[in-house]
Amino acid sequence: MMAMLWAQQIMLGKKTFADVPRLLKDKVKEILMDSGMEELVTL
């Protein structure tokens, strides 16, 4: 649930992938990639 919230905030441009807490990065990355937004996943 928190990962989905972070992914939505990234998609809306309010947060960046770099802001995501370390423990949520894998799930947020998966959600963004499944949503066709892989360009928002930055290392």
Which residue range forms the structural domain that includes residue 23?
2-40
Number of structural domains found in the chain = 1
pLDDT tens column, 18-28: 999 999 999 99
**Residue 19: CB partners within 8 Å, gap ≥ 6?**
none
Q: What is the mean pLDDT of each run of 10 residues along the chain (43 residues)?
A: 97 97 97 96 84
Secondary structure (H, E, C), 16-32: CHHHCCHHHHHHHHHHH
